[in-house]
Amino acid sequence: MGYYLNRPFMDKLRFFCLVCLISASGCSSYYYHAGKFEEGIGNKIAAFNLYKKFLKLSPNSSRALEVELRLGDTESQVFHRCDEAIPYYESIARNAAHKNPQFKKAVLGILNCPDYFPLGSGRIWIYGDTLSRGKNMKDLWKTLNGQEGENAISTSLYAGKNLVHKGKFLFQKRDWAVFRIDGPSAVPILKYPFHAGERWQFGSGKNERRFEIVSASSTVKTAAGVFSECLKVKEAYGRFPHSWKYTYYAPFIGEVKTTIGGPGFESPNTELIRYQ
């Protein structure tokens, strides 16, 4: 009479055999393969703890970058702890060659935790003028079906209920920045590190655009709600030295408000009305 061996039992049996095979190769290999096994059956927290033990024992292993990426992704995507994820991603970025796929994934992980400009498919933002809360002017943004770290956003601008303009812009996350593609130009609208005082520029002369992160902890009230820990980014044009624009970005939401600024003043312009 035979015995029925179910899937969980067979998985455990295979894992036991695996442990027997690798036990002779040292403890660190055990933690790596055990972590891979736990991750494969969906036990991400157990895998996380095993990977941490492996990295502690073998920080210079050829598998170290792979494990750091797995740890960073778990901190980011499972525990939602960006402060804990970033050191793993930065370690990979320091030690991996730029052509290494793990380098690109680490930089993308940094730009996505926290994610101040989400590019996933199916995202929708509706912006409106602050004065009328969108009754006079409304701008509908929708992400299309892009790839990881790159997507297009379609825009539909309304005056009242009348559609006056449709457009599409491509956005990319690479080279430590979020780029908006304007024709042949790739304009870095956000740049890491996301700290107050960070500055960068694009272009030159009267066409120069100067950016600065004024704050990394702003609280913004809009028709869509109150958002905290927002980036406040100043954008100034070379041809308009006495006026500039502020854009507020909320973590994992994206752009939530814009204002017009100048010496001694800041006036509301547009704000997020709804999103999904």
Q: Which fold has domain 7-111?
A: 1.25.40
User: What average pLDDT does range 169-195 have in this prediction?
Assistant: 95
114: nearest Cα among 267, 231, 265: 231
Q: What angle do CA 231, 236, 242 make, to 5 degrees?
A: 125
Q: What is the pLDDT of residues 115-168, one digit of tens each?
A: 999 999 999 999 999 999 999 999 999 999 998 899 999 999 999 999 999 999
Start and end residues for every CATH 1.25.40.10 domain found in the chain: 7-111
Q: Look at residues 55, 68, 3, 60 and name the one whose alpha carbon lies nearest to residue 28.
A: 55
**What is the average pLDDT across 218-243?**
95
**Structure-block tokens of residue 168:** 């599409």
Is the pLDDT at 239 greater than 90? The verdict is no
Helix ranges restricted to H, 58-169: 64-77, 82-95, 101-111
What's the chain's average pLDDT? 91
Q: Determine contact, residues 258/269, Cβ cutoff 8 Å.
A: yes
Distances (CA, A) of 246 to 50, 115, 139, 146, 215: 45, 19, 18, 28, 11
pLDDT of amino acid 182: 84
pLDDT tens digits, residue range 67-91? Answer: 999 999 999 999 999 999 999 999 9
Report the pLDDT averaged over residues 233-246: 92
Residues of the chain with CATH 2.40.360.20: 124-275
User: Of 105-114, 153-162, 166-175, 200-209, where does mean pLDDT reach its minimum?
Assistant: 200-209
At 2, is the pLDDT very low, low, confident or very high (cuts 50, 70, 90)? very low
> If we measure between CA atoms, which residue out of 19, 96, 38 comes closest to residue 51?
38
Q: What is the mean pLDDT of residues 85-113?
A: 96
What pLDDT score was predicted for residue 4? 46
pTM (global) more than 0.85: yes
Q: Is the pLDDT of residue 19 over 60?
A: no
pLDDT at 11 over 70: no
Run of H or E including 262: strand 254-262
How buried is residue 92: exposed, middle or buried, by Cβ count under 10 Å (0-12/13-18/19+)?
buried
Topology classification of domain 124-275:
YmcC-like fold (2.40.360)
